[in-house]
Chains A and B, each alone.
Chain A
Amino acid sequence: MLYRESGQFKSTYAEDQQIFPIRQDRIAMAALLLVAFVAVPLLGDQYWLSAILTPFLVFALAALGLNILTGYAGQLSLGTAAFMAVGAFMAYNFVLRLPWLGILPSFVLAGLCAALVGVVFGLPSLRIKGFYLAVATLACQFFVLWAIQRWGWITNHSSSGVITAQKITLLGYPINTPATKYLLTLAIVAVLALAAKNLMRSETGRAFMAVRDMDVAASVIGIPMMKTKLLAFAISSFYCGVAGALYAYTYLGTVEPEAFTLDLSFRVLFMVIIGGVGSILGCFLGAAFITLFPIFLSIASKALETALGIEISHALVSNLESIIFGGLIIFFLIVEPNGLARLWQITKEKLRLWPFPH
């Protein structure tokens, strides 16, 4: 009843091509942005802003990057954490060595560095496909971490490889409270998500999808394979790089190379799979799920502890967490292989009819 597009006629090409063609979607989106930009920073407490919402946004951005590569262009990559590491450590270097640059250009340059690394490690994709490529991207994962730990210049010769993000200001305004950090992250993520949404509706995005669906057919109809695949790697790594920079500057503040292990790559991959492969919305849903799940689990175990009056050891909890996490992923894949985004689509279709049966 409420969610129905009847009576909304399109009379211009511009209207036909807008991102959210249904009025209810536009209203919902505007409301969501309003809540995210105004209500949340005003009402949210420190813990929520700094420990849940900011990492959620950062991971959503990383998932967005991976989804562009894996979900849209069909190139499976396990090197996400490496691209994030490049972004984080290069942002540190740009802020350190070129302080007059300002924070946003530094992030962009860090993203571009990650894109460069992405293009280099994307080169094998021209030759190999599928799991061979996925394993080959592991090379990037191990090489980048090795390079960061070995080449002192990158960590400014910090003995343990740990870097501490400098204090940052944006247009003279210090970014030091959880609320400002959240807002900066949110603004960057929102802009990049919009860009991604639009990119996927453009010629480039359609070329990506053609390559994903069948690369031989795509090259036959004249899509340049090399340019398209490398562009997918570049854009994806750029997103991951910026996510890495935000990870260091707005979420953790202090990062070490060990933070960007294969586990992180897998976590981002899980977000993409659980959220929905080839869906922008899915990245956010998946990131929310993976970020909230461990918190939910620890609350549940605490509740169980008080309810049963016994002490559950930390090792037991972490092992159980691992089992439940793995089991849940398998469960999700079996129940809804297309991810949470697909569930949302089904909900929307149901909503169009509601409250009538047909």
Chain B
Amino acid sequence: MDVSFFIEVLAGGLLAGVMYSLVALGFVLIYKASGVFNFAQGSMVFFAALTFVSLTERGWNFWLAFAVTLAVMVALGIITERVVLRPLVNQPPITLFMATIGLTFVLEGLSQLVWGSQPHGLELGIADVPMEWLSQKWNINISQFDLFAALVAGVLVAVLALLFQKTRIGRALRAVADDHQAALAVGIPLQHIWAIVWGVAGFVALVAGLMWGVRNGVQFALTFVALKALPVLLIGGFESIPGAILGGLIIGAGEKLAEVYVGPMVGGGIESWFAYVIALLFLLVRPEGLFGEKHIDRV
């Protein structure tokens, strides 16, 4: 086995995994704070990326477009809380899950209605090309954009961790996540917290949308990215931010290695389901994922 090739595949996989983690983070945030499995995260990524790219194509500069898109995503989060979640308080989780699937349809229709359905290219000024010194010295090709994405993800996780651990809002978020009723009883405004969480998830969706937009172009297929992020959640656990990162790394690396070394044996194209198989193997050992909360069932 060629070692440098192995390292290249492994590193490429790990970095691709970070991209999955970016999407998975959005799921985790909302699940953690409200117990809602937000299936609309994928379409939020698409919506954010499409809004951003359409604004920049109209000649807006990067930061203005970023700020406006962020404002739109936060507004979207607040509207979702107001229109969808608030009337559904105390419904079983599956009902809320279905509501977010409904939201997916609305967002997919809305984004294409407003911005049209043609695919767009997206440039952030960092080319998706292999780094020269690495490829010259060790003959390993690693895209510099991948490294940039990993850096962004790292910063994002650090910021989110700080937000969750050190600020008043973060404490309130964790309290709501622990127990809705107890949080309400000590005077934490549940609805504000949910609006904030959906806003933050919108921000994460925007960042993920930008990264994936550069990689694959901004097009409808971006909504399927969410399906790639789901095995990451299974491995990391639905409630854990570090779990999302670690899960992403495991999925990314496992998927790429399998694609290269196992794929040819069974006819290729296994990346559509192999991540799920990895996730299932992990679940057999740890049914709540690596960092998910253990549930103790009492009769």
Residues of A near any B CB (own CB < 8 A): 70, 76, 124, 127-132, 134-136, 138-139, 142-143, 145-146, 149-151, 214-217, 220, 262, 266, 269-270, 273, 277, 315-316, 318-323, 325-330, 333-334, 337
A-B residue pairs in contact (CB < 8 Å), sample of 21: A127-B283, A132-B283, A134-B37, A138-B230, A139-B273, A142-B272, A214-B299, A262-B227, A319-B112, A319-B117, A322-B108, A323-B105, A325-B109, A326-B102, A326-B107, A326-B108, A329-B99, A330-B83, A333-B91, A333-B99, A337-B88
- Chain B's closest residue to A121 (CB) is B280
> What residues of A have a CB within 8 angstroms of the CB of B105 in the complex?
322-323, 325-326, 329
With A320-B109, A322-B109, A329-B105 as contacts: A139 and B280 at CB distance below 8 Å: yes
CB pair A139 B277 closer than 8 Å = yes
> What residues of B have a CB within 8 angstroms of the CB of A128 in the complex?
283, 287
Secondary structure call for the B interface: helix
CB pair B102 A333 closer than 8 Å = yes
CB pair A135 B233 closer than 8 Å = yes
- Chain A's closest residue to B284 (CB) is A127
- Chain A's closest residue to B86 (CB) is A334
> Measured between C-beta atoms, what is the minimum distance from B265 to chain A in Å?
12
CB pair A135 B234 closer than 8 Å = yes
With A130-B93, A334-B87 as contacts: A323 and B276 at CB distance below 8 Å: no
CB pair B273 A143 closer than 8 Å = yes
- Chain A's closest residue to B98 (CB) is A273
Secondary structure call for the A interface: helix
CB pair B272 A132 closer than 8 Å = no
Give the distance in Å from the alpha carbon of A132 to the alpha carbon of B232 in the complex. 11
> What residues of A have a CB within 8 angstroms of the CB of B276 in the complex?
135-136, 138-139, 142-143
> What residues of A have a CB within 8 angstroms of the CB of B298 in the complex?
216
Give the distance in Å from the alpha carbon of A334 to the alpha carbon of B102 in the complex. 12
CB pair B299 A216 closer than 8 Å = yes
CB pair A124 B103 closer than 8 Å = no
> Measured between C-beta atoms, what is the minimum distance from A143 to chain B in Å?
4
Give the distance in Å from the alpha carbon of A266 to the alpha carbon of B98 in the complex. 9
Give the distance in Å from the alpha carbon of A151 to the alpha carbon of B95 in the complex. 37
Asked whether any CB of chain A lies closer than 8 Å to the CB of B64, the reply is: no
Give the distance in Å from the alpha carbon of A52 to the alpha carbon of B272 in the complex. 33
Give the distance in Å from the alpha carbon of A215 to the alpha carbon of B272 in the complex. 32
- Chain A's closest residue to B299 (CB) is A217
Query: B106 is contacted by which of A149, A277, A326 (Cβ under 8 Å)?
Result: A326
> Measured between C-beta atoms, what is the minimum distance from B30 to chain A in Å?
12
CB pair A135 B230 closer than 8 Å = yes
With A127-B287, A322-B109 as contacts: A135 and B231 at CB distance below 8 Å: yes
CB pair A124 B84 closer than 8 Å = no
CB pair B91 A337 closer than 8 Å = yes
CB pair B280 A136 closer than 8 Å = yes
Asked whether any CB of chain A lies closer than 8 Å to the CB of B13, the reply is: no
CB pair B299 A220 closer than 8 Å = yes
> What residues of A have a CB within 8 angstroms of the CB of B266 in the complex?
150
> What residues of B have a CB within 8 angstroms of the CB of A135 in the complex?
230-231, 233-234, 276, 279
Give the distance in Å from the alpha carbon of A216 to the alpha carbon of B95 in the complex. 22
Asked whether any CB of chain A lies closer than 8 Å to the CB of B267, the reply is: yes
Asked whether any CB of chain A lies closer than 8 Å to the CB of B297, the reply is: yes
- Chain B's closest residue to A274 (CB) is B98
Asked whether any CB of chain A lies closer than 8 Å to the CB of B41, the reply is: no
Asked whether any CB of chain A lies closer than 8 Å to the CB of B151, the reply is: no
Q: What 0/1 readout, one digit per residue, does chain B (111-122) give for beta carbons within 8 Å of chain A?
A: 011000100000
- Chain A's closest residue to B285 (CB) is A127
Given A124-B284, A136-B234, A139-B273, 4 further pairs, Cβ under 8 A: A76-B97, A132-B238, A142-B272, A319-B117
- Chain A's closest residue to B277 (CB) is A139
- Chain B's closest residue to A135 (CB) is B230
Give the distance in Å from the alpha carbon of A220 to the alpha carbon of B297 in the complex. 12
Asked whether any CB of chain A lies closer than 8 Å to the CB of B243, the reply is: no
Query: A330 is contacted by which of B99, B267, B279, B297 (Cβ under 8 Å)?
Result: B99
- Chain A's closest residue to B266 (CB) is A150
- Chain A's closest residue to B105 (CB) is A326
> Measured between C-beta atoms, what is the minimum distance from B76 to chain A in Å?
14
Give the distance in Å from the alpha carbon of A326 to the alpha carbon of B105 in the complex. 5
With A132-B283, A146-B273 as contacts: A315 and B98 at CB distance below 8 Å: no
Asked whether any CB of chain A lies closer than 8 Å to the CB of B126, the reply is: no
CB pair B112 A315 closer than 8 Å = yes
> Measured between C-beta atoms, what is the minimum distance from B118 to chain A in Å?
10
CB pair B84 A330 closer than 8 Å = yes
Asked whether any CB of chain A lies closer than 8 Å to the CB of B104, the reply is: yes
CB pair A150 B269 closer than 8 Å = yes
Give the distance in Å from the alpha carbon of A131 to the alpha carbon of B284 in the complex. 15
Give the distance in Å from the alpha carbon of A70 to the alpha carbon of B92 in the complex. 13
Give the distance in Å from the alpha carbon of A28 to the alpha carbon of B273 in the complex. 47
Asked whether any CB of chain A lies closer than 8 Å to the CB of B94, the reply is: yes
CB pair B270 A146 closer than 8 Å = yes
With A130-B93, A143-B276 as contacts: A329 and B112 at CB distance below 8 Å: no
Asked whether any CB of chain A lies closer than 8 Å to the CB of B288, the reply is: yes
Q: What 0/1 readout, one digit per residue, does chain B (40-84) give for beta carbons within 8 Å of chain A?
A: 000000000000000000000000000000000000000000011
From A132, A146, A321, A334, name the one whose CB has the most chain B CB atoms within 10 angstroms. A132
